[in-house]
Amino acid sequence: MTTWHANAKLTLSLRILQRRSDGFHDLDALTVSVSEPHDTVRVDMGAGRDRVEVALTGPETKGITTGADNLAARAARKLLDRALDARRASGVRIALHKQIPAAAGLGGGSADAAAVLHALNRSLALNLSTFEIASLGADLGSDIPFCVHGGAAFMRGRGEIIEPTTLPELHVLVAVPPFAIATPPVFRAWDVLGGPHSDRVVTGPAGVGELVNDLEPAAERVEPHVRDFREALERAAAAPAILAGSGSACAVLFDDPDAAEAARARVDESAIARLVVVGRTRARGVEPVEP
Ligand code: C5P
């Protein structure tokens, strides 16, 4: 049995280069792992031959399925298929304690899948490199390679090209509104709008540079409330906010932990968000939890 923290993924800046012939989009995105929110993923062998079972607990299970389509289950299936018969025979039980909301732009399902890939690489003694695990994950979802590597990185291509980078430690306030936004309609809206580049530039803390999100106009088209939410967050936090990927979460970046906590108190008091957390950037997307 192994237990892992699966950290949320936060896109700090996102340029979309073009729509591809396969319907996906070529990206150039600066992305970080953050400690909050995170899911906790426990992986046990022993569900029985060829079985992958998923159980859910925690406050953010809404919209998460436990069937074969669950990304963590698909990740398990993929590694089981590569294991020796004797090991494969035991099957896998996955317990997901969900604290990362779905359809918030925080990569929760991808983080869980990345944790399962790391866990089963170890439990099934597959000895795959991180690069190989990331490449298996890329078949399942565009955000999984980043979640497998974690830290701070540029995501390019569809998301499968990861170029690690170095950023100063950030304290990150993540605020989730009472509405969700699914990703595919936002990319479709970007196409319909003619592929706009966002002209709203947020200046991040020192060493982070200027941040843009080309999906912001498209997300506002799909869910107009996201703009009001972001502006209310900026008033409460007294600092500019970024949209997390395709939304619906927004985030405010700080280099000072006390400033982040003070902003969290004000955002809590404003009662605009259904979830407000402060985390910090982490060097890994998936971290083992010692028993
Ligand atoms: O790869 P994944 O299944 O996570 O992507 C979800 C959706 O996001 C895709 O169906 C597609 O609409 C959109 N997407 C995209 N280009 C990317 C990543 C995601 O168009 N690079």
Q: How far apart are CA 13 and CA 168, in angstroms?
A: 15
For residue 98, indicate whether it is catalytic.
no
Q: Which residue has the tokens 């108190």?
A: 265
For residue 22, indicate whether it is catalytic.
no
Give the pLDDT confidence of 162-214 residue by residue, as tens digits: 999 999 999 999 999 999 999 999 999 999 999 999 999 999 999 999 999 99
Give the pLDDT confidence of 40-71 residue by residue, as tens digits: 999 999 877 779 999 999 999 999 999 999 99
Residue 14 pLDDT grade (very low, low, confident, very high; cuts 50, 70, 90): very high
- What percent of the chain is helix, strand and coil (3-state, nearest 5)? 30, 30, 40
Q: How far apart are CA 263 and CA 268, in angstroms?
A: 8
The ligand 1 atom at the shortest distance from the C-alpha of residue 27 is: 21
Residue of the nearest CA to atom 21 in ligand 1?
Answer: 158
Q: How far is the CA of 141 from the centre of ligand 1 (A)?
A: 7
Q: Which residue has the tokens 């994950």?
A: 137
The ligand 1 atom at the shortest distance from the C-alpha of residue 158 is: 21
* pLDDT at 20 (0 to 100): 97
Amino acid at 70: N
Residue 194 is encoded by which pair of tokens?
Answer: 């003619």
Of the residues 39, 78, 112, 143, which is catalytic? 143
Q: What beta strand segments (E) does the chain contain?
A: 2-19, 25-45, 52-57, 92-97, 152-157, 161-164, 171-176, 202-203, 210-211, 242-243, 250-254, 275-282, 286-288
Residue 119 is encoded by which pair of tokens?
Answer: 């866990």
Task: Say yes or no to pLDDT of 86 above 70.
Answer: no
Ligand 1 site residues (CB inside 6 A) read: 24-25, 27, 141-143, 158-159, 183-184, 187
Q: What is the mean pLDDT of the chain?
A: 96
Residue of the nearest CA to atom 20 in ligand 1?
Answer: 24
Q: Is the pTM of this model over 0.95?
A: yes
Residue 1 pLDDT grade (very low, low, confident, very high; cuts 50, 70, 90): confident
* pLDDT at 283 (0 to 100): 98
Q: What is the mean pLDDT of residues 99-124?
A: 97
